[in-house]
Amino acid sequence: MLTVVVSVAFSAAGMLSGLGRCHTFDRRADGYCRGEGCGAFLLRSTASSGVEVLGSAVQQDGPSASLTAPSGQAQQNVLVASIVDARLKVDEIATLEAHGTGTALGDPTEAGALVAVHSGATQRATPLGIGAAKASVGHGEAVSGQIGVLRACRLL
């Protein structure tokens, strides 16, 4: 981020917020804010560990109209794959950390994928909590995944 070249390109592509804020899942969403950060994890394998990774999944969007046009089906697929890997039911998930781009195209696509996957929950005792760190700290780019994990663990 020491050079303006990428910021200028992202701005020209309409990816950056003209308001200077990430308005994730908000009608004011007009893009995201670039940010930097560092996430650090100290992991220990014990029975008394406060945070445990039950499952994971990785997927790339595949072919799409453009860099800024996410695939809702790919997002659904990775959500389902992570739930299956964790051996959970959607009813057992209490909260999730969304990507939450703060863009008029990305947020509705992600929200649609979340609804498609989680709307089948029939035994949910409480509403599903959804958060997105970008609304608070911007898009950490290379560290955005770590920021999401820290926030989901309620460490941020």
Model confidence over 39-95: pLDDT tens digits?
777 666 566 666 778 888 888 877 777 777 788 899 999 999 999 999 999 988 888
The confidence score (pLDDT) of residue 156 equals 45
**Angle at 153 (CA atoms; ends 143, 46), nearest 5 degrees:** 110
> Is the CB of residue 51 less than 8 Å from the CB of residue 45?
no
**Global pTM?**
0.78
Top mean-pLDDT range of 2-6, 66-70, 111-115, 143-147: 111-115
DSSP string across 76-89: HHHHHHHHHHTT--
Please name the residue ranges forming H helices in 15-91: 72-85
